[in-house]
Each structure stands twice: as C-alpha cells, then as structure tokens.
Amino acid sequence: MQDTYQCLLFLKQDCETCVLIEPVVKEVIDKGVDIGVFVEDDPSFYKKLSPLDGTSLEPSFKWQVEATPTLIKLDGGSEVERIVGWDKKAWHTFFQDENLGSKLPEFRPGCGSKSREPGVYENLVARFSENGIEARKVELGEWDDEMEACFERGWTDGLPVTPPTDARILRMLNGTNRDPKDIIGKVPPNLVPITVEKAAINAVMAGCKPEYFPVVLAALEAALEPVFTMHGLLCTTCFSSPIIIVNGPIAKAIGMNWGMNVLGQGNRANATIGRALQLIIRNVGGGIPGDLDRSTFGGPGKYTFCFAEDETDPSWEPLSVARGFKRGENAVTLFQGDGVQGFIDQRSSTPEQITKSLASSLLAVGHPKLAEFTNALLVLSPEHYAIYRNAGWDRKRITEELHQAMVRPGSELIQGAQGVGEGIHPSRASEMVNKFWPEGLLIVRAGGQAGLYSAICAGWTGGRFRYESVPVTKKIEL
C-alpha cells in the first residue's frame, strides 16, 4: 500500500517541528497530494489527516528514517528525493508551491526517529531485516525462564549469563567493523571454527558492552595462535588459564581498571572481557570442566582474569612497548598463568633491597627448586615502582637485576638436594642456573596508589618448552 503514495511523511507527536508543520501538511493534502502519513508514537496525532499507524516502526525501519519529520518523494514505489526536518525552500521546490508555509520559519531541525533510539534499531533489524543472525536459534516456551534455559543447556560458567537475543547480538556486532561471517580461527580443544557472530554471542552472555568487543576479538585471536597453546592450557592438570593484559588508549576509553583492586571484582570491562574468552572456549571449543578441562584444582582465573596496565607514569615503558608495539597503540597480551601470589615488603627502601626481596618471592614460583620450568608475571605496584623510578631504574634494568638476583648454583637445585626430591636434573649440578628464561619474566605496572604490595602470577608449566608455549601480544583493531 505504501508504494501507491506520491510521497511518505514520517512524524511523531513528541517533536516540536512535526507539530509546527501540521497546517502545511493539511494544506498539501487538501490540494490533492496523496501522502502516506506515518506517526511513530501516537496514532491519534494528526488525526484529521487520516494518519497510518507507524507505531510498529516497521515503515520507519524499511525506509531508514533517522529523524522526524522526514518527507520522501516516490516514483513507482521507489525513493527519488528526501527532506529531513522543515526546510521552507526545499518544501517549496518539492511541492512546486512558493506560498507553502509562508508564516513558518525558514528552517527547523527535526528530532531523532523512535526507530533509532538506543536498543530499538537492533530489535527492528532482528524483526524485519533479511540479514539477521545466522546462528541457530533455540526457541523457548512462552513461560520458560531464559537464564535457567542457559543453565540447563550448559552454556554458563556456573554464574548467570545474559540471554543472547538477536537484538543484543546485533548490538554487540556494532562494536566492530568486521563481517559477522568472518572466521577468526578454530577454537580448541575441539577445533571448532568460530565466526565473529559466534564470538559476539558469547560476549553478550558474558555481559560485555559493544565497545569491549574489539578487545575480546583481539584476545581471542591471541588465544588461537598455535604458540599460545590454548589446547594444552585447557587440558592441563595445572592451575593455569589465560591472563589478559590490555595496553593503549582503549583501556581508558572503555573504563577498564588499572588501579585500586585491579585484580579483583567490581569493574565491568575487566570482568566481562576475560569471561567472554572463557565462555568461547567452553561453548564453542567444548572446554568443559571435568571433561576436556582436566585441571586438578582450577582457579578463579578460569572465570575471568583481565586487567589494564597503568600507563599514567611516562617514565614507565608499557608491556606492549617492551613487546614491540608503539606507545599509544592498543594491544592485548595473553599470558598463561595461575592465580595471585601476594608479595609484601614495606621496609625495603632502595632498588637493591626491593630487588632481592622480590627475587626471593619469585624463586617460589612453581617450586623453589625448579628453574627454567615456568614463566612468571610480576604486577608491580606504583609504590614499589617508585623506589626504582626515584633511583633512575627503568624496565630494562629492573628486569636484568631481577634475573641476576635469581641465579643460583645448580648443586642446590638438583633433585634430592637439601633433602627435597623435586628439582632440576642432576646433570646441571655444576651450572649457575637462572630461575626463568631471559624472556620468561613479564613485568606490568598496575595497582592502587597506596600499599607497598605487588603481585606475582606463576606461569603455566608448559613454559618449560621455551619456544613452543609463549605469551602472545596482538594489536586491537577498532
């Protein structure tokens, strides 16, 4: 029916410009112009003009109306011209009448169409677009509880998830320019191909905002790199899981935490980005605890472990820069690690003292007698870093001095030495042995401004295969 009109007009009562032009519209209709008038919010508005009910917003969606009033001229059912708002000269030309609306101002902008209100457009796409969600839809009964349905189907990590409706998925996909059909890679352990759309579904369930989605995609790409060995990390009996560290302006833009309680709860971006990756591994890759996930104990990081580095001190070189990226570039680093080992030192006041103190705690990673067996992540607090900064020590020197402080005689570390069965191979008894590979200690600056504490995260035991299982850093594509 819409295609038989000479023109279409989209209005809403809650728009001063729409109210302003009512006499003009009536005048045009009285002259015999066949206008299809759609009212988005109140069918009784313009009732003298026999308006059509546009409250479903389907007509507004079909004609891609972004503001009201919008006047569209048709020829054979196709659009040939469009005027948005009240523009006296444009309306004169449109209707070939220079006296039309003579008492009205020259120009008045319109208001946003209801079809473009937050959350509405994605619902309209889901309802009326032919290019909707490709993933298989699970139909629920009228009285079924959506969250309970997710639990029953095993789609959760034990906590409630946000039901992935079409509108929510489409809203998430608006966070990236990538084609929803693009295949990112194959998710272990079952090596199932994952599309951008499927990643978006899990990001919705995790509770992400669309602006977090580029970080989720970059973290996923890093996890799927063969050298990250996500399959081994999942299937191991150890405690480990991916730890996500975010660098660059995007951390501030999306509201990530790099300060107080940085490794704890309370920040939506930190919590949901890490959770989205874990849900993808579970729901797409088949990494089910007790099945292919064989961890003896597991750890809180298997829910989520994600935070941003504090880059507010210009004297500090961010982790991403140390790993080859430019300062100011958005990047994400994935480290295969365990939970938090707290480090407390409130008395060391020189860089030499704090280095020896940190080294003594780092030596405990995995086991005090194991060396070149795991990597480690040191989260250095602002107050501990200040001791180094005030002495002129930069990242490079801090790293080198820590490594040097952890060199020990192999005779003290070999299996059976000091009455302890664990240790390195007896053939290394005559060597001086470092605790970590030279590249095996990652340092990140983060945490609250008050408190002489830092944090250590032991690396996965797969790190003993020096070149086969390594942390991975990826650029975040916006």
Domain regions of the chain by residue span: 2-128, 147-475
| Tokens found for residue 214 | 């580029």
Task: Write the DSSP string, 296-346.
Answer: SS--GGGT--EEE-----TTSPPHHHHTTPPTT--EEEEEEEEEEEEEE-S
Q: What residues contact residue 41 under an 8 Å CB cut-off, 6+ apart?
A: 12, 13, 14, 55, 114
| Alpha carbons 286 and 187: distance in angstroms, whole number | 8
Residue 5 confidence (pLDDT): 83
Q: What residues contact residue 19 under an 8 Å CB cut-off, 6+ apart?
A: 13
CB 365 within 8 A of CB 376: yes
| Tokens found for residue 219 | 């973290």
C-alpha closest to that of 262 among 194, 212, 295, 308: 308
| Tokens found for residue 111 | 């208001």
Looking at the structure, give the CATH architecture of the domain made up of residues 2-128: 3-Layer(aba) Sandwich (3.40)
Whose tokens are 């479903």? That residue is 56
Residue 245 confidence (pLDDT): 98
Residue 1 confidence (pLDDT): 46
| Alpha carbons 79 and 83: distance in angstroms, whole number | 11
**Sign, Cα dihedral of 178, 183, 187, 192:** positive
CB 451 within 8 A of CB 429: no
| Alpha carbons 297 and 291: distance in angstroms, whole number | 14
Residue 323 confidence (pLDDT): 97
End-to-end CA distance of the chain: 42
Neighbours of 103 (CB within 10 A): 6
C-alpha closest to that of 408 among 397, 417, 395: 417
CB 181 within 8 A of CB 196: yes
| Alpha carbons 175 and 131: distance in angstroms, whole number | 17
- Strands 70-75, 67-68: pairing kind: unpaired
250: three-class secondary structure by DSSP: helix
| Tokens found for residue 45 | 């508005």
| Alpha carbons 444 and 340: distance in angstroms, whole number | 14
| Alpha carbons 368 and 351: distance in angstroms, whole number | 23
| Alpha carbons 234 and 66: distance in angstroms, whole number | 47
**How far, CA to CA in Å, does 374 sit from each of 79, 339, 471?**
65, 14, 12
| Alpha carbons 268 and 212: distance in angstroms, whole number | 10
pLDDT tens digit at each of 478 positions of the chain: 455 788 999 999 899 999 999 999 999 988 888 999 999 998 788 887 788 889 999 999 999 999 999 999 998 888 999 999 999 999 999 999 999 988 999 999 999 999 998 778 888 888 887 666 777 778 778 888 888 988 898 899 999 999 999 889 999 999 999 999 999 999 998 899 999 999 999 999 999 999 999 999 999 999 999 999 998 888 888 888 999 999 999 999 999 999 999 999 999 999 999 999 999 999 999 988 888 788 889 989 999 999 999 999 999 999 999 999 999 999 999 999 999 999 999 999 999 999 999 999 999 999 999 999 999 999 999 999 999 999 999 999 999 999 999 999 999 999 999 999 999 999 999 999 999 999 999 999 999 999 999 999 999 988 888 889 999 999 999 8
Q: What residues contact residue 383 under an 8 Å CB cut-off, 6+ apart?
A: 449, 450, 451, 452
